[in-house]
Amino acid sequence: MKRYIIIALCSCCLFTAQAQTIKQLKRDMYGIASDATEGRFTGSPGYLKAARYVAGQLKAAGLKTTFQAVPLLWDNYDGSTISINQKIYPHQGGNFIILQHAAPKPGDWVVLKDRPDSANTAALIKLKVAGVILLPNEQQAKDWETTVIRQYRFGYIHYAADYVPSQASLTIILLSPNLAEKLNKDPKTIADIRFKQDRVNGYNIIATLPGSDKNLKGQTIIAGAHLDHIGRLGGHIYNGANDDGSGCVALLAAAKTLAHHPAKRPLLFVFYCGEELNLLGSRYLMDHPPITVKNMLMNINLEQVGSRHRSFPGVWAVGDQQFKNSFFTLSKTFAHPDLKFSPTDSLRDELSNTDSYSFMKKQVPSLLLSSGGFDEHHTPQDKIDLIDFPHLQKVSRLLNQLIRQIADH
């Protein structure tokens, strides 16, 4: 059953906590999104480094902090190579992608422009080919980076709880545009595919702040942002400073401030893994909730709130209608034209790509805070020098005030 929240709006009761300084925000951003964390791909050493930094900051603020392990399976193709014109190219760096893996077979590799259908696959198996090498189509060649991210990063990792191994009968490889050009000059290509499946864990970081009013202990507010990004590809680090280092920094700032002045209702601050992997971190959290779902009063999610090149100048809220008045009344750090509210139903498809969706599926009232899109999204240019820290400071202040108002009334 959907629950509704009645919020008393009394300006004299607003909590006016000092926001985190820009120096503190920058320190946290470097702890999360510098080159040292290597793009924070879920399950990677870089992600764990960022997670430990966040957990350390939360614990130092006095918050009880835990790591929630999210079990994953990773298709590991390290050591795989392809030989063109007697030059060997490794699998790393996006030289080629394995779209489908089957048991190794002797024979020649067949080059095709289109992925074979079931009839063509059966014919190729009868011919006893070693596998198929696909040339990239026009769209894949135009945006090879996105192709690599979607398959090389995301197609190789699986949610262990519901993974079913594929029964592929033919290995299929997709070449990069660069190697495709070289292939035209080489009549015989050899691929050596090495495969093993590794068990890895992603981790959600969960910080708990009990409420001061025991009569409200069954009404927890959850505020979250995703800590993961897309890691390193070849020589490029995809830092994800805005996506979603900015959301994490604003969330961390609010958590630190609220820790010193607990609200009446209990709070959970969650830094999710696996958002870039089809929301696996928030999905796992809601499949294995740290508190019962019926005790979740609402969820606030932050996504991309700090870019200097943001498409919306202030903060755009998307969520359940009962939060609209609260959002506009409390957002005194922004000029009114720099605030926008859209109801959930108007942007449901867009919300399905955010961690808010994992809560929406469980009927938990949700509110997404964002500053729109930005041109550097999912590119190596999403770095710390892209961040507008004065704007991020205002976002963190807004988040703090919003949580305080809902939690105390």
185/204 same-domain check = no
State the Cα–Cα distance between residues 96 and 81, nearest whole angstrom.
9
Question: 378-389 pLDDT, tens per residue?
Answer: 999 999 999 999
CATH number reported for the structural domain that contains residue 284 in this entry: 3.40.630.10
CATH number reported for the structural domain that contains residue 128 in this entry: 3.50.30
109/149 same-domain check = yes
Whether 38 maps to a domain, the answer reads yes
Whether residue 144 contacts residue 266, with contact meaning beta carbons closer than 8 Å, is answered with: no
Region of residue 38 (phi > 0: left; psi between -120 and 50: alpha; otherwise: beta): left
Confidence of residue 12 (pLDDT cuts 50, 70, 90): very low
Whether 5 maps to a domain, the answer reads no
At residue 294, does pLDDT exceed 90? yes
Higher pLDDT, residue 252 or 333: 252
128/264 same-domain check = no
57/92 same-domain check = no
Whether 55 maps to a domain, the answer reads yes
Q: Helix (H, G, I), strand (E, B), or coil: what is residue 358?
A: helix
222/369 same-domain check = yes
Average pLDDT on 59-83 reads 95
Whether 121 maps to a domain, the answer reads yes
Whether 1 maps to a domain, the answer reads no
Question: 298-324 pLDDT, tens per residue?
Answer: 999 999 999 999 999 999 999 999 999
Confidence of residue 269 (pLDDT cuts 50, 70, 90): very high
70/110 same-domain check = no
40/83 same-domain check = no
Confidence of residue 19 (pLDDT cuts 50, 70, 90): low
280/388 same-domain check = yes
45/87 same-domain check = no
Question: 231-261 pLDDT, tens per residue?
Answer: 988 788 999 999 999 999 999 999 999 999 8
Question: 137-161 pLDDT, tens per residue?
Answer: 999 999 888 888 877 677 888 888 8
209/313 same-domain check = yes
Whether 132 maps to a domain, the answer reads yes
Whether residue 95 contacts residue 173, with contact meaning beta carbons closer than 8 Å, is answered with: no
288/146 same-domain check = no
Could you say which of 174, 194, 214 is where a domain stops? 194
223/365 same-domain check = yes
pLDDT at residue 165, rounded to an integer: 80
Longest dimension (CA), the chain: 80
pTM above 0.85, yes or no: yes
pLDDT at residue 67, rounded to an integer: 98
Could you say which of 163, 194, 225 is where a domain stops? 194
Question: 189-212 pLDDT, tens per residue?
Answer: 889 999 999 999 999 999 999 999
At residue 398, does pLDDT exceed 90? yes
Whether 66 maps to a domain, the answer reads yes
Confidence of residue 264 (pLDDT cuts 50, 70, 90): very high
Number of domain units in the chain: 2
Burial of 345 (0-12, 13-18, 19+ CB in 10 A): exposed
Whether 172 maps to a domain, the answer reads yes
Q: Which residue range is the domain that position 120 belongs to?
A: 78-194
H helices of 97-184, in order, are 118-126, 138-142, 144-148, 177-183
At residue 10, does pLDDT exceed 50? no
Could you say which of 194, 225, 260 is where a domain stops? 194
